[in-house]
Structure 1
Amino acid sequence: MTPTLTASVLADDVERLPLKAYTEKAYLSYSMYVILDRALPHIGDGLKPVQRRIIYAMSELGLSVQSKHKKSARTIGDVIGKYHPHGEAACYEAMVLMAQPFSYRYPLVDGQGNFGSPDDPKSFAAMRYTEARMTAFADMLLSEVGQGTVEWEANFDGTMQEPILLPARLPHVLLNGVTGIAVGMATDIPPHNLREVAEACIHLLDHPKAGIEDLMAYVQGPDFPTEAEIITPSEDILKLYQTGNGSLRMRARYEVNKSEIAITALPYQVSGAKVLEQIAAQMRAKKLPMVEDLRDESDHENPTRLVVVMRSSRDDAEAVMSHLFATTDLERTYRVNLNMIGLDQRPQVKNLHTILSEWLTFRQDTVRKRLNFRLERVTRRLHILDGLLIAYLNIDEVIAIIRTEDRPKPVLMERFGLSDVQAEAILDLRLRRLGKLEEIEIRGEQETLAAERDQLQKTLDSPRRLKTLLKKELAEDAQKYGDERRSPLVARQAAQALDETTLVTNEPVTVILSEKGWIRAAKGHEIDPTTLSYKAGDAFLAAARGKSTQLAVFLDSSGRTYAVPAHTLPSARGQGDPLTGRVSPPDGASFVSVLLGNPEELYVLATDAGYGFVVTLGDLHTRQRAGKVVLTVGPDSRILPPIPLVTDDQTADMVAVVSNAGRLLVFPLTELPQLSKGKGYKLIGLSSDGSPESREVVASLICFQSGQPLTLYCGQRHLTLKPADIERYSGVRGRRGSKLPRGFQRVDRIGVNGQDNEGLVS
């Protein structure tokens, strides 16, 4: 329930209100003030109050298009001193906006001096340096102010009158558009083409029941000051005009000449300098290897000309531009919210038909007021002329009355049946006008004014004639102020950013991981990572060979994986960077291995607890900085180095597992299922006897191809098992395995063909 406003008046005339009631009332008053008197335009003249006051103050100062420019400070002083008691900086910025041809489709102010630039619209000079006057287009708003069309109200201090609305001859609310933020609502009205909107209004006068689809035959869409393309589909624009809400997309225009791309038009309110900065940032990040140089060739003849120089004319310029559209401000989205104050003085989001219909109602009322005002003036003048003609026909008697009577006015009124106005006009006549020629002029003026009176009366009495007059004036203004569309509507495919891997040179690299978690990448596969220099207390841990376009996958002791693009890693010429600067492992976790390859490559992940599974490298990829859990690791377990199933073009089909108790088990790889994550399946049966320090664990694991010999490394000694010897250790996955010969029961690692599996993964 809405709380009732209760107030009690005390003896000392102090009114008391509940705090809740006072704050609600105060905030509601503030909200309505911001909505109605600050932020939203009126459908009648399409202006916010500050804009209306600036235009009216300039007209009062005589700053028409024919006058000289006058200091902006003079105009702003009049505005804030007479009509708009707010900040001078905000008021001046509002005037500057109306003078910027790149911000307003049809500027209302003609500025002289620095009024900002497309690269930085707010770089305008102070008001004491610039000068301004109104443009010819502003006359469209002011030409009928003195013709009885305006309702007036007192200014803020009640010392003078200001217009509530200006009598706009065109639907200005759509022509220049407006943006504003009120309380709980906002407005974003894009600019439109004058001729298109005028033609739609004429069509609506002839066909009041025309639908929005019919109106869009004339108003194809917004028309911005820039010549960039509007690529929003026509069905989306139709929906926008039907609901009053939606969005638009604009895309820069460009030309391709051999190896150069010249951008000739930018989207609305997009800075060319910012676009060049965005492209240069991608070049520095090596994300645009096909771009060699950038140039800004903009000048007076070519206001926008940004040149992108390709490395070769064979590069796909269309693909590069599609990438730039997707990643820079060369393509931009604009919100549309046709929210405005209607004729009922209420804010509302209106569709195109409602906007034009309401404005035509406003315009029809304005024209009717203008005609009535003129009719009243003509009728009054004819009345005076009738009295003057009576005086000329009886000139001698009139002169005699004036010469002999002390109060000639009532005598004249009684003698000739004149009104007070007629008698006053006769008494104001000058002697030089008492001639025969003046009588002829009066009769001629009577005939002219009588014809005008009849024409005015016919127009006011006939809705059809009034509608014809409206159409004629709309057509004349469209011809006088209109121009061709600047923003073409073009159907384009959606912009597609280039795949990051296609932007990177595909070359062999070796990724090196140190024991302390530092990473780096060296070009080529010939480098020996163990010979590189490391920080004090650090040493080589693992390395992986692959391509620069691939993702380097890191595995930590908690079973989490992390993916980093290989081409972003620091060069191996230095000592690298800490991996923790790129990923966020859990506390206490350390990195154990690095993998590099194609997503479909297979690896065996296992822990020394005797569990493991086959996984694709793609299952280890993640975009999360915190990584993702792939391998479940027990509290007393550690992760074994991942084993690739394809090495040196040989595909493994067998698995060999050896425990620290000297037991070896060999089984077919087909017995080990493939998973995407988890604890895995039992590889070998381990004894659970003994203390945690002396428990049996997996010492080493390797995958190999049938027929290959295995080499067991035990300190300085090694034992090579030929295929025939391996048979005695073969069994089913999960069994205990067979005991190795005495002296070779403390195996450090297993190798194939004399090469062990520790550290380097190809």
Structure 2
Amino acid sequence: MTDATTPGEADERISLKQYTEQAYLNYSMYVILDRALPHVGDGLKPVQRRIVYAMSELGLKVSAKYKKSARTVGDVIGKYHPHGDSASYEAMVLMAQPFSYRYTLIDGQGNWGSPDDPKSFAAMRYTESRLTAYSDVLLSELGQGTVDWEPNFDGTLQEPSVLPARVPNVLLNGTTGIAVGMATDIPPHNLREVVAATVHLLENPKASVADLCEFVLAPDLPTEAEIISPREDIRKMYETGRGSLRMRAVWSKEGGDVVVTALPHQVSGAKVLEQIAAQMQAKKLPMVADLRDESDHENPTRLVIVPRSNRIDLEAMMNHLFATTDLERTYRININVIGIDGRPAVKSLDIILGEWLSFRMVTVRRRLQYRLTKVEERLERLAALLIVFLNVDEVIRIIRTEDEPKPVLIKRFKLSEMQAEYILDTKLRQLARLEEMKILEEKAALEGERDNLQKTLDSARRLKTLVKKELLEAADTYGDERRSPLVSRGEAQAFSETDLLSSDPITVILSEKGWIRAAKGHDIDPHTLSYKAGDKFKLSAQGKTNQNVTLLDSTGRSYALAAHTLPSARGQGEPVTGRLNAPSGATFNGLLMGQDRQRLLLCSDAGYGFVANFGDLYTKNRSGKAALTLPKGARVLPAMVIADPDNDLLAAVSNEGRLLVFPVTELPELARGKGNKIMNIPAARVQSREEFVMGVAVVGAGQALKLNAGKRHLNLKHADLDHYRGERGRRGNKLPRGFQKVDSIEVC
């Protein structure tokens, strides 16, 4: 590139960084102000405003005949909105769908979509449309000097910058839009509630959001589904302009079946049935037997859910469906609008209504001033006509004889230029005596109207009264009852995986080499099952398929496995180490099943232990969790289930033939740790393995303790145990001769 430049060229050069920044900022401002966000005055985005205005220009009022939608779209994109026809038509369709707009602006004829598939509308060449009666609140004052006009995109036509809405439409129909760096999500509201709040703010300008929420209870969407958000959350949403709204479907019980009669806003019944059917196919909804869609013209929403039996808890089932399907839905709220200052901002309810009232007061004042100007012009013309009646011969003479009659008339009768023009344009037949009476009557009526208009313009109170009267008239004409009821409901909870499982008896077996499996029923003898060569039975536990299996290893860590996921006992199972990450060299010494609140005895052969709950041992971690802390040189003893914590006895036997019995209640309840001393054994003797606790047992009322020493057996009935009872932490009493080396301890 050479340095040669033409004069002025260097001044036009800017850096690429500066150019792109400016171009992007311009684009961003265009998207924010002229595409995506609504104006607080009429609540419409530019494309919506242009559609409504173009239809009014085509004469498509509520009383007109329907006209092809393609004609409207052609006018919109050809005159005012130079964008794609499909985008304009989609915006038009949205304003015609009663399930999308709370108060529709367009009355459509043909296929305009359905709640199940809002985008299933026919092409614009097939549908016909006209404006609804409600659109009159936006258009009725348009030609009365109420708003500013601006050139269209090519400068050949004028279009309104905003429509003179007689109600706060920005809240009534709501809108959604995505701009650059910001978005808007405004829900629809009830006309009567919004008008009542607006009137209250008009009379009490310092009213708070809490005061206004006495009138505006919550959004009111075009569906009869329930709004279940707490009132406090709704009030906070109106205070900040941001929040969320939860809606839940309405259902009832009919002959044992569940019938859904109303769905949340913009939720498809077909999609809900698909979501439920998918759970049924995945066997995650065993309590549902069948689904039916019985919706028709008389019942737009009627979804039937057939439970598997009449013992199913329908409330719990529906709570699960609310939590896992679109039968309950949360909507984002972000009240972001372009204010009367032309700037976008997220606004609270009081600011929204306050700015709209400012807009409305200016609009009404401009309308009255416009009408006053027209009345005064008409009175001036009528005064000129009366001059003609009083001096008709002189006026005719001047017109007939003078080459330039206008200046002569102005000088002779002291007229204004406009009055002279009007006299010259008057037809002779208007000079009849009958017309004079009509003129006088019209003059008197107009003078009365002029005085009334002037009084209203001069009085802020009269102006407020007029605005209030027009608001209440609009509410009476177009208002209706709330459609979305406000109901207080609890949080929906989905079923857990175990809740969905059947509760069948099961026996879990663990072999010496760590292979685990599960057999149906509790009448299984684990010793009779087949094991791999060199392997044999080690531990078993009985429980239900919807419970967890708790394992305890030789390091004192606990693990949990879902019982229903274990392999069948028809085979030889699978290594438990494939499912768990136990420390190297660790072996599994405990296998338990039970309810979360079931008490357990955890102890080590160092003579320490404590009472724990099943739930305390549960963990989702494959590496387990620390449950029992082992003193140096100690080993884990098998965990024991405590059936009656208040009355059971704990029996501990040492390898030196001592037995100590005391109530289980003397041990503390802990979630984890070493526990308290069960039997007094010196730590040094435990480390050297000279003395340790050989075994422990939990003995219930009516049960006996059986001690095995080689081929010899000693049965101690419950009453016999009194001889060995002592305080927790003692050495215990010596067993009879021959039982100094006990092999095992059992409860029978």
TM-score tier, shorter chain, comes to 0.7 to 0.9
CA distance in 2, matches of 1:466, 1:440: 33
Matches within 5 A, 1:211-222: 211-222=208-219
* Deviation, structure 1 residue 142: 1.2
**1:79 aligns to what SS in structure 2?**
helix
Does structure 1 conserve the Cα–Cα contact (< 8 Å) formed by 2:249 and 2:261? yes
CA distance in 1, matches of 2:276, 2:585: 39
Pair 1:62 & 2:73 matched? no
Pair 1:15 & 2:8 matched? no
Pair 1:135 & 2:132 matched? yes
Q: Which runs of 5+ in 2 are unaligned?
A: 1-6, 722-727, 735-740
CA distance in 1, matches of 2:219, 2:296: 27
Pair 1:460 & 2:440 matched? no
Q: CA RMSD in A?
A: 5.0
* Deviation, structure 1 residue 359: 1.4
* Deviation, structure 1 residue 220: 2.7
Tell me what 2:356 maps to: 359
**1:16 aligns to what SS in structure 2?**
coil
- Deviation larger for 294-303 or 239-248: 239-248
Pair 1:380 & 2:383 matched? no
Pair 1:447 & 2:444 matched? yes
Does structure 1 conserve the Cα–Cα contact (< 8 Å) formed by 2:632 and 2:687? no
Tell me what 1:225 maps to: 222
Deviations 1:652-695 (A, max 9, x none): 8445688xxxx9998779899876446889999999999xxxx9
Tell me what 1:490 maps to: 487
CA distance in 1, matches of 2:21, 2:649: 77
Which letter does structure 1 place at the counterpart of 2:218? Answer: G
Aligned partner of 1:195 among 192, 210, 218: 192
CA distance in 2, matches of 1:580, 1:68: 78
- Deviation larger for 101-110 or 154-163: 154-163
* Deviation, structure 1 residue 88: 4.4
Tell me what 1:276 maps to: 273
**1:106 aligns to what SS in structure 2?**
coil
Matches within 5 A, 1:567-646: 567=564, 585=581, 592=588, 594-601=591-598, 616-624=613-621, 627-630=624-627
Aligned partner of 1:160 among 145, 157, 160: 157
* Deviation, structure 1 residue 524: 1.3
Pair 1:172 & 2:135 matched? no
In 2 relative to 1, CA 537–360 (structure 1 residues): closer, same or farther, beyond 3 Å?
Answer: farther
CA distance in 2, matches of 1:700, 1:14: 96
Pair 1:79 & 2:76 matched? yes
* Deviation, structure 1 residue 456: 1.9
Aligned partner of 1:545 among 542, 545, 548: 542
* Deviation, structure 1 residue 476: 1.5
CA distance in 1, matches of 2:118, 2:374: 47
**1:99 aligns to what SS in structure 2?**
coil
Does structure 1 conserve the Cα–Cα contact (< 8 Å) formed by 2:606 and 2:686? no
Which letter does structure 1 place at the counterpart of 2:161? Answer: I
CA distance in 1, matches of 2:140, 2:585: 78
Aligned partner of 2:101 among 85, 101, 104: 104
Does structure 1 conserve the Cα–Cα contact (< 8 Å) formed by 2:54 and 2:76? yes
Does structure 1 conserve the Cα–Cα contact (< 8 Å) formed by 2:606 and 2:693? no
* Deviation, structure 1 residue 85: 3.6
CA distance in 2, matches of 1:120, 1:329: 15
Identity %: 62
* Deviation, structure 1 residue 507: 3.2
Pair 1:506 & 2:499 matched? no
Matches within 5 A, 1:338-357: 338-357=335-354
Which letter does structure 2 place at the counterpart of 1:201? Answer: T
CA distance in 1, matches of 2:546, 2:407: 106
Aligned partner of 2:302 among 300, 305, 308: 305
**2:43 aligns to what SS in structure 1?**
coil
Does structure 1 conserve the Cα–Cα contact (< 8 Å) formed by 2:375 and 2:446? yes
In 2 relative to 1, CA 664–643 (structure 1 residues): closer, same or farther, beyond 3 Å?
Answer: farther
* Deviation, structure 1 residue 54: 2.5
- Deviation larger for 669-678 or 179-188: 669-678
- Deviation larger for 414-423 or 587-596: 587-596
CA distance in 2, matches of 1:146, 1:560: 83
* Deviation, structure 1 residue 390: 3.5
TM value normalised by structure 1: 0.78
Does structure 1 conserve the Cα–Cα contact (< 8 Å) formed by 2:557 and 2:626? yes
Does structure 1 conserve the Cα–Cα contact (< 8 Å) formed by 2:582 and 2:624? no
CA distance in 1, matches of 2:513, 2:69: 66
Does structure 2 conserve the Cα–Cα contact (< 8 Å) formed by 1:709 and 1:720? no
Does structure 2 conserve the Cα–Cα contact (< 8 Å) formed by 1:248 and 1:336? yes
Aligned partner of 2:34 among 31, 34, 37: 37
Tell me what 2:563 maps to: 566
Aligned partner of 1:524 among 509, 518, 521: 521
**1:170 aligns to what SS in structure 2?**
coil
In 2 relative to 1, CA 466–673 (structure 1 residues): closer, same or farther, beyond 3 Å?
Answer: closer
Tell me what 1:759 maps to: none
Which letter does structure 2 place at the counterpart of 1:12? Answer: A
In 2 relative to 1, CA 448–571 (structure 1 residues): closer, same or farther, beyond 3 Å?
Answer: farther
Does structure 2 conserve the Cα–Cα contact (< 8 Å) formed by 1:282 and 1:288? yes
CA distance in 2, matches of 1:144, 1:470: 13
Tell me what 2:368 maps to: 371
- Deviation larger for 509-518 or 53-62: 509-518
Aligned partner of 1:425 among 422, 429, 437: 422
Deviations 1:493-523 (A, max 9, x none): 5555667766654332223568998866443
* Deviation, structure 1 residue 486: 1.4
Aligned partner of 1:476 among 470, 473, 477: 473
**2:11 aligns to what SS in structure 1?**
coil
Deviations 1:428-481 (A, max 9, x none): 345665644444443343333333222222222222322222122112111111
Pair 1:254 & 2:244 matched? no
In 2 relative to 1, CA 14–320 (structure 1 residues): closer, same or farther, beyond 3 Å?
Answer: same
* Deviation, structure 1 residue 192: 1.6
Aligned partner of 1:205 among 202, 207, 211: 202
In 2 relative to 1, CA 51–687 (structure 1 residues): closer, same or farther, beyond 3 Å?
Answer: same
Deviations 1:91-111 (A, max 9, x none): 433333222212211111223
Tell me what 1:715 maps to: none
CA distance in 1, matches of 2:582, 2:11: 69
Tell me what 2:91 maps to: 94
Deviations 1:249-296 (A, max 9, x none): 333333334523332222323333343344445555666555444333
Tell me what 1:264 maps to: 261
Q: Which runs of 5+ in 1 are unaligned?
A: 1-8, 713-717, 739-744, 756-762
Tell me what 1:742 maps to: none
* Deviation, structure 1 residue 151: 0.6
In 2 relative to 1, CA 90–666 (structure 1 residues): closer, same or farther, beyond 3 Å?
Answer: farther
- Deviation larger for 670-679 or 508-517: 670-679
CA distance in 1, matches of 2:534, 2:331: 56
Does structure 2 conserve the Cα–Cα contact (< 8 Å) formed by 1:258 and 1:313? no
Does structure 2 conserve the Cα–Cα contact (< 8 Å) formed by 1:554 and 1:591? no
Which letter does structure 2 place at the counterpart of 1:260? Answer: D
Which letter does structure 2 place at the counterpart of 1:481? Answer: Y
Does structure 2 conserve the Cα–Cα contact (< 8 Å) formed by 1:518 and 1:576? yes
